[in-house]
Structure 1
Amino acid sequence: PVVSGNTNDLTGCEVLMRWRHPQMGMIAPNQFIPLAEESGLIVPMTQDLMAQVRDYFAPLAERLPYNFHFGINISASHFKDLSLVEDCRQFLAAFKGYKIQLVLELTERQLIVPSEMTYRIFHELHELGVLIALDDFGTGHSSLAYLREFHIDILKIDQSFIRMIGSDALSGHIVDNVIDLAKRLQMVTVAEGVETQEQAEHLKQYNLDFLQGYLFGRPEDLKIFSDKWLL
């Protein structure tokens, strides 16, 4: 779940990919996502993920909070052709008549190279009303380059910075400056990895748009999530 930075009310979710292996049980994404990206399988896997979320939540659209955000991770592999744009178009069409927001979260395991196709995809996504978020901001080697090259709407401040809150003065200055940069760029801000009430209270002074982390809820199956949050 993703909640409002002011009220802690549900405003959206980040869709996560998990592999439930028949013999090995639940496999963490850091063990298979890099392989999926290297092999190119991440594209059809993401397409399937979007279809699952679309087909499950579209019939529940009237129960979603107004302007509910669906955040879905994408990587450089998605910028080779226009299939991502079509996938997003189909996703949004399923919620026709309801105000929802689709957010694509850029990961930095693979570098997105600026090109004519890349710029065209970004342009067409924004034409559809899709928002682009930079995930784990402050940790990737290309974060600042992405801000310069592409139209980024949302900065997700990495949990490693959130964990610094209350630890020491230097860490506090780092958190302050990361958040200040996001504010100066006039972007929507999301704090990831909020795990304690102390962190949540400290973040209130920054007036961040959204918060996300175990303090509010852990990743859950589609039905468990909807039964818990969409009353």
Structure 2
Amino acid sequence: VNPAGLKLKPHTATDFIGHHFSHLVLEEDLQRVSQHFSAARAGTPQRFEARVRDEGEKLLTMDISNLPIMVNGEIVGVFGIARDISEQKHFERQLSFNASHDRLTGLLNRVSLEDQLILDCHISRRRKRRLAVMCIDLDGFKSINDSIGHYFGDQVLIEVAQRMTQQVRPGDTIVRMGGDEFIVLLPDLLRDEDVVPVAERLMASIAKPYCIQGMDLHVSASVGITLSDGHIEQPMQLIQQADMAMYKAKQQGRNNFQWYTSDLNQRVCEHASLRNDLQKAIETQSFRLHYQPQIDARTGRVVGIEALLRWEHLEKGFISPAVFVPVAEDSGQIIPLSLWVLDTACAQLRQLGEQGVTGISMAVNISPMHFQRGQFVECIQTVLSKHGLSAGQLELEITESLLLHNVEQAIDTLHQVKALGVRIALDDFGTGFSSLSYLKRLPIDKIKIDRSFIQEIATDHHDAAITQGIISMAHHLSLTVVAEGVETASQVDFLKGSRCDIFQGYYFAKPMPYAEIEAFLSQPASHP
């Protein structure tokens, strides 16, 4: 026994004498090691691995070679050489783990998904049970990365993984596919409906606030679910089906779960086609802006115009913003679209000024994703400077969805925008979740009453009371009130009687392209 051997336990030469090697070897490896020693004593050289403990009880992995000792053709003993390969084995285990697991969350990664899915299909088929596959995508996660950085996004993902693990059974599998998308495999279910409480627990757990470095961050989950009895030739089709159902959940307003149905295939293909067409339209600048006038309730004069995005597809015709804007938001295409709208609207406002049309503001809707990205304030400054506009000529229309993530930063950014002199309007007022609680903190100039309250104000006393309450509250806060969707004379009369400040709707003018709005603005006021 050389000095290296004396580092093992027992660790003196005397301690080795008279002892069997079983005192060194870990009990779980003893039977296998004994077989190797027996084979070496029988004359066959051996090479194997065994785990032993050193004098400090640290577990080591040894690469052992056993050679029979021959004297005059007779085996008289065994010569052993042991090499410590513990560090190498640790490295190999780490490589193996990294190959099959996500390094950030410790969950299995997509490389391991297919093998696990095949195994779960086999289990469900053999036991005649059901297999559920869930695709989970985080709502609002991209805005966290874009607005406050990837460190915070990573911390959210780590905690999401921990919360999800606590909500499933030991035999279930959670896989991080990449980004903010996860797959959950639930084998061995007795009934289809057994997946529902699991989905509900996962969604509730994910939706709880994430406190990271003193900031409360919020995400929710859109979940797609598909079910199988395990009899499927291509198990990965289940992942595709769950993914389709997840996109359906996104389209249904997020933070819900949806089931896969056979008709989803066609709808998903249409969604993918629309996204491709959208990218082509962005690259070729195939969009147009239409403008809808905003009318002063007292004078009948146009005091502003709102820029509204329009897309006329070469083959499919007019596509509603309600259809393509959600697709753009999901894909991130909303960023270049928003930049184009802002730049084009400001350029055309400058053109109106050159034609002698002055004293009006340009209202532009701001995407929450665009707003939450860094350099937003600098972007506004650059556009105003580029087109030679004063800050007071621009009005940004925001919605309460800006406040869903990192409220304090959103409010701070709004104050910076306000400091430039740009006006801010809160759009779709009354339909959000936090209007009253945050209204006093927002540096806004206007409130736009959502059209859903205006439609029946002349006949529905509830809508009438809500509208009058909003106007009164806004005036007490020194805010201007704009009524959207004004379409009838009776609505105009009611709103005038309630002291609404500005009207916008088909009763006065529909949204129109630039050439028509230029002609409209050159006419004298026709709605005193």
TM-score of the superposition, structure 2-length normalised? 0.41
Deviations 1:174-220 (A, max 9, x none): 22212222222221111111101111111112322211000111011
Instruction: Find the partner of 1:33 among 325, 348, 363.
Output: 325
Matched, 1:64 2:357: yes
User: Match of 1:17, SS?
Assistant: strand
Instruction: Find the partner of 1:48 among 333, 340, 354.
Output: 340
Partner of 2:450: 158
Partner of 2:190: none
Deviation at 1:48, TM superposition (A): 0.6
Whole-Å separation in 1 of the counterparts to 2:405 and 2:442: 10
Opposite residue 490 of structure 2, the aligned amino acid is E
Deviation at 1:152, TM superposition (A): 2.1
Deviation at 1:100, TM superposition (A): 4.9
Map 1:188-227 → 2, pairs under 5 A: 188-227=480-519
Instruction: Find the partner of 1:174 among 457, 466, 487.
Output: 466
RMSD, matched Cα: 2.2
Whole-Å separation in 2 of the counterparts to 1:218 and 1:72: 17
Instruction: Find the partner of 1:85 among 377, 396, 410.
Output: 377
RCO higher in 1 or 2 (8 Å CA, sep ≥ 6)? Answer: 1
Deviation at 1:172, TM superposition (A): 2.3
User: Cα gap change, 1:146/1:114 in structure 2, threshold over 3 Å: closer, same or farther?
Assistant: farther
> Quick check: 2:392–2:421 contact (8 Å CA) kept in 1?
no
Deviations 1:144-174 (A, max 9, x none): 3441442222100111111122213333222
Deviations 1:49-89 (A, max 9, x none): 111122233133142232x1111111321233343323322
> Quick check: 1:73–1:104 contact (8 Å CA) kept in 2?
yes
Whole-Å separation in 1 of the counterparts to 2:522 and 2:338: 24
> Quick check: 2:456–2:463 contact (8 Å CA) kept in 1?
yes
Moved more, 24-33 or 182-191: 182-191
Whole-Å separation in 2 of the counterparts to 1:34 and 1:175: 28
Partner of 2:297: 5
TM-score of the superposition, structure 1-length normalised? 0.88
Matched, 1:138 2:138: no
Max radius of gyration: which structure?
2
User: Match of 1:91, SS?
Assistant: helix
Identity %: 37
Deviations 1:99-152 (A, max 9, x none): 852111113466542355424421221111111111111112232344144222
Whole-Å separation in 2 of the counterparts to 1:119 and 1:178: 22
User: Match of 1:16, SS?
Assistant: strand
User: Unaligned regions of 5+ residues in structure 2, if any?
Assistant: 1-292, 524-528
User: Unaligned regions of 5+ residues in structure 1, if any?
Assistant: none
Instruction: Find the partner of 2:405 among 113, 123, 130.
Output: 113
> Quick check: 2:384–2:391 contact (8 Å CA) kept in 1?
no
Deviation at 1:39, TM superposition (A): 2.2
> Quick check: 1:75–1:108 contact (8 Å CA) kept in 2?
no
More strand by share: 2
Runs of 4+ in 1 over 4 A off after TM superposition: 97-100, 108-111
Opposite residue 134 of structure 1, the aligned amino acid is L
Moved more, 128-137 or 139-148: 139-148
Opposite residue 299 of structure 2, the aligned amino acid is T
Deviation at 1:221, TM superposition (A): 1.0
Q: How many residues align?
A: 230
